[in-house]
Amino acid sequence: MLRVGLSGGIGSGKSTVADRLRELGALVVDSDLLAREVVAPGSEGLAAVVERFGTQVLAADGSLDRAALGAIVFADDAGRRDLERITHPRIAARAGELVAAAPPEAVVVHDVPLLVEKHMGPGYHLVLIVDTDESTRIARLTSLRGLSEADAKARIAAQATDEQRRAAADVLLPNDGTVEQVRAAVDALWRERLVPFNDNLVRGRRSRGPEVPTLVGPDPSWPVQAARLVERIALALGERAVSVDHIGSTSVPGLVAKDVIDLQVSVRRLEDADDPEFVAALQRMGFPRVKGNTHDEPKPDEPGIALWRKRFHGSADPGRVAHVHVREVGSPGWRYALLFRDWLRADAGAREDYARVKRELAGSAATTTDYAGSKEPWFTQVWPRAEAWARLTGWGG
């Protein structure tokens, strides 16, 4: 089951996106609708709201006067927090019931207005943010909802910033154009990413990059992308993981790389990574176990292959190829991954040397497997340089 968190600022048009996803076959859990449900007449939620804010928030028929309540809480931060304490747990519980009842092959889209503000992104396989310019949102709020410009700006200011939403987004869906344009973008997303991702999840299958080694220029968004994956894995594994780190070429600013995010999960004992629940937890979060690839290449000063054991998982997301290397804390492979990253970050000459080698080998290797293997002699050659840097700087991993 693919779980997608959908959000966007007020007036962004995320309801249009949610409606199209529903038409395409997604199960859409709409937090706005649930927010109405949990304060329906006769509900415990409504009773709690009236107890906190008084009967002034009730309409003549006994239902919640949402406009009256909104006027109170948007001008009162403490009141808004109190309202959230009443409604959010009830909304979350109802959403959980709906998701639990969904079939295992469903694509579940959770439409959550405050997804970014509540830092809920790590709980989803993907976060989809509808990105709309503030001026467009103000125009929609004033023309379609009848808000004054001042009120529209105040409501926008009470939510996360555009920068915060973009940092949380695995998928950023622009929506400053027509309804037809955004619906077409949703169709493409459904066809090219959501359906294949869900199929990979159901089948326990990882996504792969190009078979021919393809280097791309440094992407400043790589660390942000990695941070989202790190949080998901850390949430999935809990105390089973000592740490989760971004490693490899995409973790080194300014370095050319294959467009693959490499992550290292540190465990106390490698046997912990073979526990069925460990494997299942990663698979549920979209990182199935990959058979083979159980050892790193030993280095001359640590020649025993048993010292270089690891486990390997890959991302099921066709839009973000990622490799997850599980290594035991203190093992040579664990130390090598961290030291090599930190040395390259600190030593411009080493970065330039590695970039040159990468370009040369990528141009001659027929496959990514050949490319990876052909780098090993260089890794062995420069290892003393990295160790010397570690001693000089007091690097401790």
Measured CA to CA, the distance from residue 133 to residue 144 in angstroms comes to 16
- The percent of the chain in helix, strand and coil, each rounded to the nearest 5, is 55, 15, 30
Contact 287, 234 (CB under 8 A): no
| 162: nearest Cα among 124, 131, 127, 199 | 131
Burial string for 282-312 (b: 16+ CB within 10 Å, else e) reads bbebbbbbeeeeeebebbeeeeeeeebbbbb
The structure tokens listed for 180 are: 């037809």
Q: Which residues, at least 6 apart from 164, have a Cβ–Cβ distance to it below 8 Å?
A: 116
Q: Would you say 11 is a known binding-site residue? A: yes
CA dihedral 112, 114, 117, 122 (to 10 degrees): -10
The structure tokens listed for 194 are: 């959501």
Q: Would you say 16 is a known binding-site residue? A: yes
Q: Would you say 15 is a known binding-site residue? A: yes
With 0-12 / 13-18 / 19 or more C-beta atoms within 10 angstroms meaning exposed / middle / buried, residue 251 is buried
How does DSSP classify residue 56?
Answer: G
Contact 141, 10 (CB under 8 A): yes
Q: Name residue 225's amino acid.
A: Q
Q: Would you say 13 is a known binding-site residue? A: yes
Contact 279, 253 (CB under 8 A): no
Greatest distance between any 2 Cα atoms in the chain: 82
The binding site comprises: 11-16
The binding site for ATP comprises: 11-16
